[in-house]
Amino acid sequence: METAIAVGQAFVLERDHFQALLDALQGQGYTVLGPTVEAGAIVYRPLTRVEELPIGWRDRQGPGFYRLERREEPTLFGYVVGPSSWKKFLHPPTVTLWKARRTPDGGFQQVVESAAQVPRYAFLGVRPCELHAIRIQDRVFLEGPFVDPTYRERRSRIFTVVVNCVEPGDTCFCASMDAGPWAQAGFDLALTELWDPEDHRFLVHVGSPEGAAVLASVPLRPATEADRGRERARLDEAAQRMGRSLDVHGLKERLYAQYEAPEWEEVAQRCLTCTNCTLVCPTCFCTTVEDTTDLTGQWAERRRVWDSCFTLSFSYIHGGSVRSSPAARYRQWLTHKLATWQDQFDTLGCVGCGRCITWCPVGIDITQEAARIAAGAKTQEP
């Protein structure tokens, strides 16, 4: 007897039937992108078989520290997040804007190449903080006065399978940012992995008609109240075990009051301005434009590439860089994430994934620095 599936319902998917979910996604024409182990890290790559997932792996993270290690439990999603995010599939690191070739009369003719068809991607294993980051980039690229056509096309072809977090890491603070550890909306399917020695299953929440259509060919049973209770207990426990926290109440105003605080110079003595934090961040969107020609001078090309507010050239105008010191560049980054982003997009620019802490070579912690700098404003209040 076929199970009726509707948006808002929850079902149980047994671990032994997980391959059926991958097959269903591929059967719907999606290229599945998911987590796998590569070069000692969890990265997102195309996959077709459940065996390609990081089965039985966990990550240990701390300020400036990341290691994969084996775990006893054969969980499929027993890690937190790796160095790469889904951003690169929606907001690519390099985009060709136009090409031109020299004509016989010495001029140039612009050549508009037919863009390659963007695959229909199924993002498998999106953490709630990462889903929140995608929503923030939607605000940036789709909901302002100017819409980015590259992002719009790619975003319209994405199917999202979220995996709720039942085991946060040492650098996680998504609960402080209201970005996890569970996803409440904005997904096609949301999974919660539930494992114990006698049982291994997933609770599946249906978030869209497309999600319901994918599940139509997957062996399921309706979730019971006991299943839901087990899920709630695991997620509530995860929310209490965050490795970090950040009080965002009034944080914007307190940071604005601290533009000249000496703490900016103190943290800058450690900061290498290496751009790691912005490259691993799932919400950073800064770019620059590069013009190149070939050796013969017959072709010219303009590309949009990722950039970072930590580079000296990013704020360069005639006469020099506006933010010439590391302190000014670190202040720009942190206050944009936690203050001015709210003025621009009515949301914080941080989702609490902890990547910037983990992948900072010197272990600078955004939660500690923001709290330390903002505390100066508290002590100065009358």
Could you list the pLDDT tens digit for every one of the 382 residues in the chain? 456 899 999 999 999 999 999 999 999 999 999 999 999 999 999 999 999 999 999 999 999 999 999 999 999 999 999 999 999 999 999 999 988 888 888 777 777 665 567 889 999 999 999 999 999 999 999 998 999 999 999 999 999 999 999 999 999 999 999 999 999 999 999 999 999 988 999 999 999 999 999 999 999 999 999 999 999 999 999 999 999 999 999 999 999 999 999 999 999 999 999 999 999 999 999 999 999 998 888 888 999 999 999 999 999 988 889 999 999 999 999 999 999 999 999 999 999 999 999 999 999 999 999 999 999 855 444 3
Q: Determine, yes or no, domain membership for 166.
A: yes
Per-residue pLDDT, 350: 98
Q: How many CB atoms lie within 10 A of CB 347?
A: 16
Distance, CA of 99 to CA of 81 (rounded, Å): 37
Q: Are 183 and 164 in contact (CB under 8 A)?
A: yes
Q: Are residues 116 and 235 in the same domain?
A: yes
Q: Are residues 88 and 194 in the same domain?
A: yes
Nearest to 102 by CA among 290, 294, 289: 294
Per-residue pLDDT, 3: 66
Q: Are residues 151 and 270 in the same domain?
A: no
Q: Are residues 137 and 23 in the same domain?
A: yes
User: Given 197, 214, 240, which residue is the final one in a domain?
Assistant: 240
CA distances from 259 to 41, 268, 374 (A): 37, 14, 10
Number of structural domains, the chain?
2
Q: Are 328 and 314 in contact (CB under 8 A)?
A: no
Residues belonging to the chain: 382
Give the three-class secondary structure for 224.
coil
Per-residue pLDDT, 272: 97
Per-residue pLDDT, 102: 87
Distance, CA of 48 to CA of 273 (rounded, Å): 39
Could you tell me which residues are beta bridge partners of residue 32? 122
Phi/psi of residue 303, each to 5°?
Answer: -125, 145
Q: Are residues 303 and 364 in the same domain?
A: yes
Q: Determine, yes or no, domain membership for 332.
A: yes
Per-residue pLDDT, 377: 57
Q: Are residues 319 and 230 in the same domain?
A: no
Structural domain including 185 reads 10-240
Give the up-direction half-sphere exposure of residue 245: CA atoms within 13 A in the CB hemisphere: 6
Q: How many CB atoms lie within 10 A of CB 269?
A: 9
User: Given 221, 240, 259, which residue is the final one in a domain?
Assistant: 240
Long-range contacts at 34-40 (CB < 8 A, ≥ 24 apart): 34/123, 34/124, 34/125, 35/77, 35/79, 35/82, 35/124, 35/125, 37/68, 40/67, 40/68
Q: Token pair for residue 307?
A: 């950039």
User: Given 201, 220, 240, which residue is the final one in a domain?
Assistant: 240
Could you tell me which residues are beta bridge partners of residue 330? none
Per-residue pLDDT, 296: 86
Q: Are residues 350 and 375 in the same domain?
A: yes
Q: Are residues 185 and 287 in the same domain?
A: no
Per-residue pLDDT, 115: 58
Q: Are residues 270 and 222 in the same domain?
A: no
Q: Determine, yes or no, domain membership for 205.
A: yes
